[in-house]
Structure formats: C-alpha cells, structure tokens
Amino acid sequence: MENCIAKVIAVYGSVVDTQFSAGAPLPSIGATLKVCIPPEKEIGLQVVEHRGKNICRCIALGFTYGVGRNMPVGLGGQELAVPRDLSQLYGRVLNALAKPIDHKGDLDLSDSVPLKSLECAVQAEVNLDAEIKPEIIYTGIKMIDLLFPLLKGSKSGLLGGAACGKTVLILEIIHNIISYQSGTCIFAGVGERIREGNELYHEFSRADLLKRSIMIFGQMNESPGMRFEAAHTAVALAELMLHQRKDVLFFMDNVFRFVQAGSELSILLGRIPSEGGYQSTLTSEISQLHEKIRSEKNASITAIEAVYVPADDLTDPAVVAIFAHMDNLIVLSRSLVQRGLYPAIDPLQSSANSLSPSVVGRRHFDAAQDVLRHFRRYDELERIVSIIGKEELSADERIIFDRAKKLQNFLSQPFFTAELYTGRPGAYVSLEDTISGCEKIMSGALDKLDESKLYCIGKLESKNVE
C-alpha cells in the first residue's frame, strides 16, 4: 500500500489495533486511517485511543471481514466533505462517510467543504445575545398542534416502546411540514431496519418530497462505528446548513439506537460500564450530539427525534439522559394503540415547554388546559367505571366522562403516510379547526352525538354531526 504508516496487530470485532514504527508520530484522536483488503476492498478506521508501544486503537467504519494481522495501514485520505453547493445533496441517500449509497452516481467534490472541521468555525460565530422570537411550526396533526406545539429551533422527542407508532408519526410530521411549509429536511436513520429506510425513500418519492430532503443512514445491518457516526454526520450537515443561514428540519430515527451503538463500542473498547449497564460516557455522548442542534437569529435547526423506550420503561437510564435535552416530550401509549387511537399520544405523561399564553395565545392555551383537565378527570373516572360501572357516576361526572371520550376520538386522525394500510385519506387540520372542534365538544354542543362519529376524522364538519 502506498503511504503505509502502520500495520494491523489485532482485530476484536469492530475494534482494530494498529502499531506504528518506533519514533513515528501517532495520528490524532479522531483521525481516519484505512486498511486495504485484496483485491479492491477498503475499510476506514477512526482512531479513538493511544495505547502504549506506539499502538492506536481504532473503530472500524465497516465490517472487518478479511482484515488480518500485519496488513498495511495507510492514511485515510481527505476528511468527510460535501459539495459547497448543497443542492447536489437534495434527494440523495448518504452513509456515515457522506458517500452516496443510492446508486445515482458520485458527488461532484471539485468545490467541496469539510464537514467535521467546520464545527469550531461555526461555533465561534454563534451570537448568544441574539434575540430569537418564538415561531410555531404547524404539523397539521391535531394532538400535537393543540397540546405540544413545535417551536422553530426546539428539540422534541417522540417516546414509545416497540410498535407504538413512532416511525409512522415522524414520517407524517415530515410529510406535513415539508408539503405545507418551507425548510430543508435532513433525515438521520440510525440503527433502524433497512425496510424502514426503503419505505421512507419510496414514500418521499411518491409524495414528491425528495427535492427538499437529504437522507443519511447507518442502519441496523451496519457496524456500530457506522451507526454511531451516522448521527454525527447528519448533525454536522445540519450545522453546515445553519452556517449558510438555512432553516433545517432535523429528524432522527432513532436516538436510542445511537446510544446502543455507543454502548457496543464501549464494550469492544474494554471500558467498564456504568451501574445501569450503559457506557460510562452515556451523558457526554448525548450532550455532544445535541449541543450542536441550536438556533441563530436568521436560521435554526428544529429537531424531532424518535426515542425507543425499552420495555416501555420511561425510567431507563438512556431514556432519562435524553430527556434533559428535549423541549417537548411526546409519549406514546401502548394502551391507546390497543384501542386504535392514532396518534397514540398520552397527553398526561407528555409535556411541552412551548404551551404558554405568551407563545400560543390565550385562547389556544385555555382550550388546551380545558382538554387536559377533561383527560385527567377521565383517567380518574375510568378506574371507577371499570370496577362499578358507568351507571354509578353522578350526572356531572358522566357528562365529563362522555365528553373526554369524544375528545379522544376527535383528536385521533387519519395519516397521509398510512393511507395504504388504513384505506382512509389523510387529513391536514389547521389549528383553528382543531380548537373550534374541541370547544364545541367541551361546551356540550355535541353531547347528543355518538362518539364513533368523531373517530379518525379531520376537521369537524356538518356531515360529522348529522
């Protein structure tokens, strides 16, 4: 190999030890090396530790099949780079190394800009004193716009266990925001299934959303190094767009898989795990990723991230560590999924920093608080009804119980991205229609209406109440 500077002395799964000749300078932490496997395969290595006897411990950015002792190691070439004209990236699918994997040809890097080395320059220009006025991003999803409004520049987490609808909900948010509003979408698929990435790509193609989207994947079948770096590459690309004064919609599915990849790497590197079984660097890894997601005066990064909750346990250390960086926590409930109420958002476990009169207005705030009061009272009465029956409730309690069930049904919604599975056409509902519908239900105007008429509809129309 040309420019051979070291040799492989050990391989532990995705960890490769390389030894340099005595007296040779060691590459810096984070530097990229490469190993060539005959006949033409090449694997990148990222330096993560300096050990004794001129040994560097590296993470393989790919599978290490075929890597053997004494194989020559060379410099990894130029660092991650993308075209300065970012319009080349729209509609493309990239991996963690910013290389296209969609079989549409290579990127033109004749005029390129490095991704990772830009971070310090971008951070140096941040104006911490800039006044950023809150601006709501409407999703057209009734439950979210009413109770958990998304602010430009905020970070929102969609939390739920397996099969609670996180991916479908995040795809619907992407579809509605890009279709009805401006902005560039960066989607980071971290540690999820190949099938989901394939379906996402074809859904974007069908809805003509690729022209404003960039996808970066480090999927479940890839090495932990690629999965871990995919998230950082996606955030670095979002930072580059922020530097160019562009509003960015950043979506990640799934942050927990990023944590898992870091845990796998930590174990392979021989580090002692924390008491909860996760890597000792859990908090710092999540912090380093999220501190780059921010707003400036003329541009912002708005993040919406799916968070897998293992065994539906919201006290899991990884989930709790992610909590600290989120402005909105939208928790999905398995019991609502079993009742067929989609989106299956549990409003009593969820929270939103943006729900205040100064941000959303007095009418919106009052309507949201009234809805939450109905849901809290319903939760209390439901336990009583399950034991002694609805007939034992007082007249006032029965009215609140029935109205809360109507609100639950009304706040369910057919999705554009699920039309193929449900047979129901999707609906985009404005905030005004959502608030007026809830006010009618809570005022008693629809007390005589059967609750099934409000299930999985868009806005409240005359045909729904006949």
Beta carbons within 10 angstroms of residue 455's beta carbon:
15
What tens digit of pLDDT does each residue of 291-326 get?
888 888 788 899 999 999 998 899 999 999 998 899
Positive/negative CA dihedral, 167, 203, 301, 359: negative
Catalytic: 84? no
Catalytic: 7? no
Catalytic: 403? no
What tens digit of pLDDT does each residue of 49-85 get?
998 889 999 999 888 888 989 899 988 755 678 888 8
The one catalytic residue among 192, 239, 296, 305: 192
Say how many Å lie between the first and final Cα of the chain, rounded. 78
* CATH 2.40.10.170 domain range(s) in the chain: 4-75
**Residue ranges, the chain, pLDDT below 50:** 118-124, 128-129
Please, what CATH class does the domain formed by 361-465 belong to?
mainly alpha
Q: Contact 327/352 with Cβ under 8 angstroms?
A: yes
- Give the tokens for residue 325: 């960086």
User: What pLDDT score was predicted for residue 465?
Assistant: 66
Strand partners, 35: 43, 73
User: What pLDDT score was predicted for residue 122?
Assistant: 45
Three-state DSSP class for residue 109: coil
In this prediction the pTM is: 0.88
User: What pLDDT score was predicted for residue 368?
Assistant: 96
* CATH 3.40.50.300 domain range(s) in the chain: 81-356
**C-alpha torsion 205→241→155→347, nearest 10:** -30
User: What pLDDT score was predicted for residue 124?
Assistant: 42
- Give the tokens for residue 436: 């007026």
CATH fold of 4-75: Thrombin, subunit H (2.40.10)
Three-state DSSP class for residue 179: helix
User: What pLDDT score was predicted for residue 75?
Assistant: 81
User: What pLDDT score was predicted for residue 409?
Assistant: 94
User: What pLDDT score was predicted for residue 118?
Assistant: 47
- Nearest partner of 60 among 12, 21, 27, 3, judged by Cα: 12
Beta carbons within 10 angstroms of residue 268's beta carbon:
17
Q: 227, exposed or middle or buried, with CB in 10 Å at 0-12, 13-18, 19+?
A: buried
What tens digit of pLDDT does each residue of 216-240 get?
999 888 889 899 999 999 999 999 8
What superfamily in CATH does domain 81-356 come from? P-loop containing nucleotide triphosphate hydrolases (3.40.50.300)
* CATH 1.10.1140.10 domain range(s) in the chain: 361-465
The one catalytic residue among 193, 211, 245, 376: 193
Q: Contact 141/343 with Cβ under 8 angstroms?
A: yes
The one catalytic residue among 166, 227, 292, 406: 166
User: What pLDDT score was predicted for residue 377?
Assistant: 94
